């Protein structure tokens, strides 16, 4: 049964597939509670609200017996850091430049679930990262990879570029050997690359400092102490992933074609983005993960990037936002104009 599942998973576009007991990652629940108690989740209240379910798959679904962990590659075909010096361009995280992985991965998970039920009638549930399931510890227990010092999963074959999905099932499936987590050794590449020093010791990250959190999850003003470090990143940050030495084994050819970067998202002009209204924003980002943050948050991010650009020509794109009804946008525009030294 396991071999049949793995073969079908590969046919559906999953680059990795492993099996674990449903309770294999219970120790991660204690780490989660300590992380929440330290308020490292920032304003992500949903992490705390459903913590009791998140600590263990059995807390979410007591009938679960096995977990099938799956990974779909989104390895980029170009250097994720290539736009670091492009003053007039916005940098979008690799994972968000193509189709929305939530929809794509979930559709394939459901197809695999149907395959399983047809061959072995059983109960099962599928999860991407919108549900209170700790995918990374389960994937580690299933032998897909290990959690690196940056807390993301790292694979020998696919580096840091994997979208994860989980199928919980009532079937008793023999677990695979867990991947030991010593493969990072003394390497500090991800820690040293983090622009805001958000990555701490013991595989712990403070979301309140993380650029991905600040540009995606955080809905208020971006704290002043992190604005310059954001540079021209307008949605997410790839730095800790991009520098991982294990990525030399990742092959862009193995990535799912649905995640290939859209031309208009690979290097968008900040001036064009700052001119978007809600309708144009929805049209441009339809079918992507970016759509969920809304036009206001994207404009806020682009204003910070414009201020960091040092390009006075962007002042004209910033100026209209000084009169924005949204106080967060108006303040970000004032900051950007001051940085650009424009009246």
Range list of H helices, 267-313 = 270-274, 278-284, 294-309
Domain range summary for the chain, segments of one domain joined by + = 2-77+98-169, 189-252+260-340
- Half-sphere exposure (Cβ direction) of 196: Cα atoms closer than 13 Å: 26
pLDDT tens-digit series, residues 115-173: 999 999 999 999 998 777 889 999 999 999 999 999 999 999 999 999 999 999 999 99
**pLDDT computed for residue 51 by the predictor:** 66
| CA–CA distances in Å: residue 170 to residues 18, 64, 66, 164 | 16, 5, 7, 20
Mean pLDDT of 240-246: 94
By CB atoms closer than 10 A (0-12, 13-18, 19+), residue 85 is exposed
**pLDDT computed for residue 98 by the predictor:** 93
How large a percentage of the chain has pLDDT more than 90?
76
- Calpha distance 135→141 (Å, rounded): 10
- Calpha distance 281→273 (Å, rounded): 8
What average pLDDT does the structure give for the chain?
92
- State the catalytic residue, choosing from 31, 129, 181, 326: 129
263's CB contacts (< 8 A; 6+ apart) are none
Could you tell me the pTM of the whole model?
Answer: 0.91
**pLDDT computed for residue 197 by the predictor:** 95
| Residue at token pair 């680059």 | 15
Mean pLDDT of 1-7: 97
Query: Catalytic: 129?
Result: yes
Strands 91-92 and 66-73: unpaired
pLDDT tens-digit series, residues 305-341: 999 999 999 999 999 999 999 999 999 999 999 999 8
**pLDDT computed for residue 8 by the predictor:** 98
Q: Identify the helix (H) or strand (E) that includes residue 7.
A: helix 2-11
């Amino acid at each position: 049964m396991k071999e049949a599942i793995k073969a079908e998973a590969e046919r559906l576009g999953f680059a990795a597939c492993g099996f674990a007991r449903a309770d294999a990652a219970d120790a991660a629940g204690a780490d989660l509670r300590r992380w929440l108690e330290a308020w490292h989740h920032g304003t992500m209240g949903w992490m705390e609200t459903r913590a009791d379910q998140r600590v263990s798959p059995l807390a979410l679904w007591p009938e679960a017996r096995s977990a099938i962990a799956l990974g779909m590659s989104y390895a980029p075909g170009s250097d994720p850091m290539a736009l670091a010096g492009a003053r007039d361009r916005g940098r979008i995280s690799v994972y968000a430049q193509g189709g929305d992985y939530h929809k794509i991965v979930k559709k394939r998970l459901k197809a695999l679930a149907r395959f399983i039920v047809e061959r072995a009638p059983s109960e099962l549930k599928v999860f991407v990262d919108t549900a209170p399931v700790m995918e990374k510890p389960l994937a580690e227990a299933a032998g897909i990879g290990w959690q690196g010092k940056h807390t993301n999963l790292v694979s020998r074959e696919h580096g840091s570029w994997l979208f994860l999905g989980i199928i919980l099932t009532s079937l008793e499936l023999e677990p695979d050997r867990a991947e030991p987590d010593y493969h990072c050794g003394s390497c500090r590449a991800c820690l040293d690359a983090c622009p805001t020093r958000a990555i701490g010791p013991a595989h712990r990250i403070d979301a309140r400092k993380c650029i991905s959190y600040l540009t995606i999850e955080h809905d208020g003003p971006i704290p002043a102490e992190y604005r310059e470090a954001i540079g021209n990143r307008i949605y997410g940050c790839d730095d800790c992933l991009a520098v991982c030495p294990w990525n030399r084994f990742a092959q862009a050819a193995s990535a799912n074609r649905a995640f290939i970067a859209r031309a208009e998202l690979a290097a968008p002009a900040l001036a064009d983005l700052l001119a978007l209204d809600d309708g144009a924003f929805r049209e441009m980002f339809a079918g992507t993960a970016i759509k969920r943050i809304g036009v206001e948050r994207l404009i806020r991010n682009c204003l910070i990037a414009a201020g960091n650009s040092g390009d006075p020509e962007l002042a004209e794109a910033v100026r209209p936002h000084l009169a924005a009804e949204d106080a967060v946008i108006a303040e970000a525009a004032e900051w950007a104009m001051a940085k650009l030294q424009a009246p």
